[in-house]
Chain A
């Protein structure tokens, strides 16, 4: 079953790595949208919906926390599951993001299979035969 995803990260290299890691994990991707910061991601989401968002925390213009806050306050977008993928592994950060309604948190470095496991837990039906 294909799912549409949005990757939000200021590093093009990391966006590419995530895209490849999702595919290697055996998860079929329909549309893969990309944005370099939270504000650009919100602009993309005005026109397109996705099944899950994978977002970095540290980004210029609008960071991951501000992005999730904006997302959750929008009745049209607030339901989309968000996984934060960040180098920031501090407990305070993780607790703060969980309180904002982030469904998953993956600290870099991570083994590629960990991302696929997390996504199949969060996105219903993903990874199952169509």
Chain B
């Protein structure tokens, strides 16, 4: 099954928003040029989904492997203890998703008004579930694995 391509403007917005969020607030630098990617065929990924409404409705989904999301939690909260990391990984992935969503929307519709829901996060989601999404995933390679991001939009008629 071939995925539905992201609209060009959404693609550009995500490709510029994600590195800015990662570098500024998570102190993570891309290891390679981001672009269209494929969700791994097997294994599990931590995922987070933020829905938005207002001028336009839709959702942003962010997925990454467990090692990478733990690394985000360490960087964002300056964690040192293993138990703190386990408790905070989901919360930090949700915050990352929230920021990516807001940064992308601000680029796409600078004059829009949006409400972004509290992200819903699921840890160790089977990759096969994500592969069933009929939308293009953008891949952002980092040192502990890639971050995958996609967006769907419903523009009111």
Residues on A lying within 8 angstroms of B by beta carbon are 10-14, 16-17, 20, 58, 60, 63, 86-93, 107-111
Tell me, in angstroms, the Cα distance from A95 to B24 when the chains sit together: 25
| B101 close to chain A: CB less than 8 A | yes
Interface size on B, residues (CB 8 A): 30
Contacts of A88 in B (CB 8 A): 102, 105-106, 114, 116
Set A10, A20, A58, A92: member contacting B111, Cβ < 8 A: A92
Contacts of B114 in A (CB 8 A): 88, 90
Tell me, in angstroms, the Cα distance from A89 to B114 when the chains sit together: 10
In the assembled complex, the CB of A22 is this many whole angstroms from the nearest CB of chain B, namely: 13
In the assembled complex, the CB of B46 is this many whole angstroms from the nearest CB of chain A, namely: 14
| B4 close to chain A: CB less than 8 A | no
Tell me, in angstroms, the Cα distance from A55 to B118 when the chains sit together: 15
Residues on B lying within 8 angstroms of A by beta carbon are 20-21, 24-25, 73, 76-78, 88, 91-92, 94-95, 98-99, 101-103, 105-106, 109-118
A58 pairs with B106, CB closer than 8 A: no
In the assembled complex, the CB of B120 is this many whole angstroms from the nearest CB of chain A, namely: 13
In the assembled complex, the CB of B28 is this many whole angstroms from the nearest CB of chain A, namely: 12
B116 pairs with A91, CB closer than 8 A: no
Contacts of A111 in B (CB 8 A): 24
A108 pairs with B94, CB closer than 8 A: no
A13 pairs with B110, CB closer than 8 A: no
Set A13, A90, A92, A110: member contacting B94, Cβ < 8 A: A13
**Dominant secondary structure of chain A at its interface with chain B:** loop
B25 pairs with A108, CB closer than 8 A: yes
A17 pairs with B106, CB closer than 8 A: no
Set B21, B24, B94, B118: member contacting A60, Cβ < 8 A: B118
Tell me, in angstroms, the Cα distance from A64 to B9 when the chains sit together: 29
Tell me, in angstroms, the Cα distance from A12 to B73 when the chains sit together: 12
A14 pairs with B113, CB closer than 8 A: no
**Contacts A12-B91, A13-B88, A13-B94 given; does A90 touch B77 at CB 8 Å:** no
Tell me, in angstroms, the Cα distance from A87 to B73 when the chains sit together: 19
Set B25, B78, B91: member contacting A109, Cβ < 8 A: B25
Contacts of A91 in B (CB 8 A): 110-111
Tell me, in angstroms, the Cα distance from A111 to B78 when the chains sit together: 15
